[in-house]
Chains A and B, each alone.
Chain A
């Protein structure tokens, strides 16, 4: 069977994270109608885990030979891949992909679609690139925001902007390993009864310093609570120091980046997200799908996932007191926690399925194609 569409993703993957999972999940969900290939810049070899995962799914995964500063040869290389694959559309993820992908897509004569997931602004260099990216998005053929909040930040793309939410595969959490709860409890030296988890790259925009402040307050009130934070990143040392200085050693654990996070999520009692900025946080979708109640900041697209007091609890970003209060409030009623977790899971199953996302993407590609081919082909 030949597929109706040939779609190509272009990214600069540095690890197998949220956006990468989205691309592969989408590819699986539309496998019956479209063939998907992925291209990634080398990023010093850090793109390999993603490409390996992609080939495991039977996708064509290509590591580009050219990278900055040889922009021209990179564009030429991408364009040659596009015409060889007879691609119908190119999806670009991130500022480098947007810029080079757009040029290559023009060259190959296909639409370039920018997928905008949010800007991290983690340091001045990235902030500069992201500002340029924001200005450049208007030149794309179409832009997809992963949340309404993200779409609102995109300027100059009127009429060529749509919102397609990230999706999640709930199957990942259906049969967890029961041993992981024991494993989780062994992270803590003092016996804890309630375990609160968080996950993400340890960089400033995730607000984990706020989480530690809140944790100090919560543990002060209730020593039976333990916190575990999954992830790695530039702030690891400063966070570790902050934990020690707040006297939380033994009840706030940095567990590092774990490939088996899917197994840990379902055995948490509560999940917390403390970010200052977000697109549509995948990890929140995951926590909800895993059936864990969530306390999160209102940053970015989070309120599009979570209804305050119904499918989770929301707090303003950067406010440790309110975060701590919300956590303590949630803990005060185990019954409410179970209800909220149930509602959260329902929401995610209904509104964030890959099937739904796939249909939206296919409609978009169809629309762009018919616009391009336009009247003559219909007349034939």
Chain B
């Protein structure tokens, strides 16, 4: 391959800008992509609402197509406008978000001769209608790759639309860790132990209540709501524990700042968001060794790992953190570092930059680089 080194040009197509998850991720991506590696442009299907106008990025070209519903005849005109933009900008990649943008932009990108078309699918798709599934299947042969933000989304996509599995990639999101980075790590002997979790049996909170019986003098708090509340409350009352179920929490950083030890006692987990937040907030952590947890926490380094379903191990780990608070503080800081390295927005942006580079230029051989 003999392509001259240059930034990859990417056009993002999305319905409109909003403050929801996907849009926020996209805006952060566009704002901070290294322009020497990737040059972005943004196309909005609608985007003349005040909110969308206010959110438009300033450091990247933005095109508003102002289409109405896709079925209306004037969409054809808007399609022509989009094509003209593609011919002018000469992108290497067109990336679409949400169904409407995909139905509109994927065929047109193909007509314009854009070499790579990428779709994103960031949810499990429980809202999808049958027609969406069928349209998805029609689109799939036209796209070079589909990006899912987690393994579950990838599996849902494989099940719904049966695309070529090799073309479906997982690029993990970056979490907005910034609001947790201000929190100072705890100092002094630990008193308060807490969990952020829904009150459901899979979260293993009954084990923590059990453990609390053997940790007198410590306060326990759980932020979250769920079906198991009555059962847990009954257990707490029976043993007269200092254990509060605070209910759904509106501002997690403040809750985490009040904890000396954060616990993840789940019986099963994927990649726990709560754990990432504990880490970013530099809490000393006790976590069960399930799912992706073991990839993030090394026992004794960023926190203590315990086997699932073992209340006794929980007691011992919490007691160890309580008794060695200097070490606990160090572990909290180490945990923060790892969360930043892998799950910060910056890390996500690197993943996307690498993805485009690999897609457009392919892997580079040793000989090529020596030449």
For A191, give the chain B residue with the smallest CB separation: B342
Query: Are B37 and A333 within 8 A (Cβ)?
Result: no
Note all chain A residues with C-beta closer than 8 A to B7.
Answer: 175, 178
Number of interface residues of B (CB under 8 A): 32
Within 8 A of A (CB), among B316-350: 334, 336-338, 340-342, 344-347, 350
Query: Are B338 and A179 within 8 A (Cβ)?
Result: no
Note all chain A residues with C-beta closer than 8 A to B342.
Answer: 193, 224
Interface segment out of the listed A137-145, A180-188, A298-306: A180-188
Interface segment out of the listed B44-52, B126-134, B186-194, B353-361: B353-361
Note all chain B residues with C-beta closer than 8 A to A175.
Answer: 5-7, 36
Query: Are B341 and A224 within 8 A (Cβ)?
Result: yes
Query: Are A185 and B344 within 8 A (Cβ)?
Result: no
Within 8 A of B (CB), among A165-202: 174-183, 185, 193-194
Return the contact of B361 from the options A178, A221, A222, A263 (Cβ within 8 A). A178
Give the distance in Å from the alpha carbon of A188 to the alpha carbon of B38 in the complex: 24
Give the distance in Å from the alpha carbon of A185 to the alpha carbon of B355 in the complex: 13
A-B pairs with CB below 8 Å: how many? 77
Query: Are A332 and B36 within 8 A (Cβ)?
Result: no
Give the distance in Å from the alpha carbon of A263 to the alpha carbon of B36 in the complex: 11
Note all chain B residues with C-beta closer than 8 A to A223.
Answer: 298, 338
Give the distance in Å from the alpha carbon of A182 to the alpha carbon of B353 in the complex: 10
Query: Are B36 and A266 within 8 A (Cβ)?
Result: yes
For A181, give the chain B residue with the smallest CB separation: B354
Give the distance in Å from the alpha carbon of A332 to the alpha carbon of B178 in the complex: 11
Give the distance in Å from the alpha carbon of A176 to the alpha carbon of B334 in the complex: 33
Q: Is A103 an interface residue (CB 8 A)?
A: no
Give the distance in Å from the alpha carbon of A328 to the alpha carbon of B336 in the complex: 11
Chain B nearest Cβ from A368, distance in angstroms: 42
Query: Are B337 and A260 within 8 A (Cβ)?
Result: no
Query: Are A331 and B340 within 8 A (Cβ)?
Result: yes
Contact bitstring B1-13, A, C-beta under 8 A = 1, else 0: 0000111100000
Within 8 A of B (CB), among A78-119: none
For A218, give the chain B residue with the smallest CB separation: B337
Note all chain A residues with C-beta closer than 8 A to B350.
Answer: 181, 193
Query: Which of A185, A221, A263 is most buried by chain B, counting CB atoms within 10 A of its CB?
Result: A221
Query: Are A182 and B341 within 8 A (Cβ)?
Result: no
Query: Are A183 and B341 within 8 A (Cβ)?
Result: no
Return the contact of B8 from the options A178, A185, A225, A331 (Cβ within 8 A). A178
For A195, give the chain B residue with the smallest CB separation: B350
Contact bitstring B300-327, A, C-beta under 8 A = 1, else 0: 0100000000000000000000000000
Return the contact of B341 from the options A177, A179, A331 (Cβ within 8 A). A331
Give the distance in Å from the alpha carbon of A267 to the alpha carbon of B363 in the complex: 16
Give the distance in Å from the alpha carbon of A260 to the alpha carbon of B347 in the complex: 25
Give the distance in Å from the alpha carbon of A177 to the alpha carbon of B363 in the complex: 12
Give the distance in Å from the alpha carbon of A266 to the alpha carbon of B344 in the complex: 20
Query: Are B361 and A225 within 8 A (Cβ)?
Result: no
Note all chain A residues with C-beta closer than 8 A to B20.
Answer: none
Note all chain B residues with C-beta closer than 8 A to A333.
Answer: 181
Note all chain A residues with C-beta closer than 8 A to B346.
Answer: 334
Give the distance in Å from the alpha carbon of A235 to the alpha carbon of B178 in the complex: 42
Chain A nearest Cβ from B91, distance in angstroms: 15
Within 8 A of A (CB), among B235-277: none
Query: Are B340 and A177 within 8 A (Cβ)?
Result: no
Note all chain A residues with C-beta closer than 8 A to B58.
Answer: none
Give the distance in Å from the alpha carbon of A332 to the alpha carbon of B183 in the complex: 13
Interface of chain A, helix or strand or loop or mixed?
helix
Note all chain A residues with C-beta closer than 8 A to B230.
Answer: none
Q: Is B234 an interface residue (CB 8 A)?
A: no
Chain A nearest Cβ from B348, distance in angstroms: 10
Note all chain B residues with C-beta closer than 8 A to A221.
Answer: 301, 334, 337
Query: Are B5 and A193 within 8 A (Cβ)?
Result: no
Give the distance in Å from the alpha carbon of A30 to the alpha carbon of B150 in the complex: 56
Give the distance in Å from the alpha carbon of A224 to the alpha carbon of B350 in the complex: 14
For B365, give the chain A residue with the smallest CB separation: A183
Query: Are B347 and A332 within 8 A (Cβ)?
Result: no
Give the distance in Å from the alpha carbon of A266 to the alpha carbon of B36 in the complex: 9
Give the distance in Å from the alpha carbon of A139 to the alpha carbon of B358 in the complex: 58
Give the distance in Å from the alpha carbon of A220 to the alpha carbon of B336 in the complex: 14
Return the contact of B5 from the options A178, A225, A331, A335 (Cβ within 8 A). A178
For A266, give the chain B residue with the smallest CB separation: B36
Chain B nearest Cβ from A159, distance in angstroms: 46
Chain A nearest Cβ from B115, distance in angstroms: 15
Query: Which of A222, A263, A332 is most buried by chain B, counting CB atoms within 10 A of its CB?
Result: A222
For A222, give the chain B residue with the smallest CB separation: B337
Return the contact of B36 from the options A176, A183, A220 (Cβ within 8 A). A176
Chain B nearest Cβ from A288, distance in angstroms: 15
Q: Is B364 an interface residue (CB 8 A)?
A: yes
Query: Are A183 and B369 within 8 A (Cβ)?
Result: yes
Within 8 A of B (CB), among A218-236: 220-225
Query: Are A179 and B334 within 8 A (Cβ)?
Result: no
Note all chain A residues with C-beta closer than 8 A to B36.
Answer: 174-176, 178, 266
Query: Are B5 and A182 within 8 A (Cβ)?
Result: no
Query: Are A222 and B341 within 8 A (Cβ)?
Result: yes
Chain B nearest Cβ from A291, distance in angstroms: 8
Q: Contacts A175-B6, A222-B338, A334-B344 given: A181-B181 contact, CB under 8 Å?
A: no
Give the distance in Å from the alpha carbon of A224 to the alpha carbon of B36 in the complex: 24
Query: Are B353 and A177 within 8 A (Cβ)?
Result: no
Return the contact of A179 from the options B340, B344, B357 (Cβ within 8 A). B357
For B7, give the chain A residue with the smallest CB separation: A178
Return the contact of B37 from the options A181, A194, A332 (Cβ within 8 A). A181
Give the distance in Å from the alpha carbon of A266 to the alpha carbon of B341 in the complex: 18
Chain B nearest Cβ from A201, distance in angstroms: 21
Chain B nearest Cβ from A215, distance in angstroms: 15
Q: Contacts A176-B36, A183-B364 given: A328-B337 contact, CB under 8 Å?
A: yes
Query: Are A179 and B337 within 8 A (Cβ)?
Result: no
Note all chain B residues with C-beta closer than 8 A to A222.
Answer: 334, 337-338, 341
Within 8 A of A (CB), among B200-253: none
Query: Which of A174, A179, A181, A221 is most buried by chain B, counting CB atoms within 10 A of its CB?
Result: A179
Pairs A–B under 8 Å by Cβ, sample size 21:
A175-B5, A175-B7, A176-B36, A178-B7, A178-B37, A178-B356, A179-B5, A179-B357, A180-B364, A181-B37, A182-B358, A182-B364, A185-B354, A193-B341, A221-B334, A222-B337, A223-B338, A266-B36, A331-B340, A331-B341, A334-B344
Sample of 19 further A-B pairs with CB below 8 A, known A178-B36, A178-B356: A174-B36, A175-B5, A175-B36, A176-B37, A178-B6, A178-B7, A178-B8, A178-B37, A179-B357, A182-B364, A193-B341, A193-B342, A193-B347, A193-B350, A224-B338, A331-B341, A332-B336, A332-B340, A334-B346
Please name the 4 residue pairs, one residue from A and one from B, whose CB atoms are nearest each other, closest first. A177-B5, A224-B341, A178-B37, A334-B346
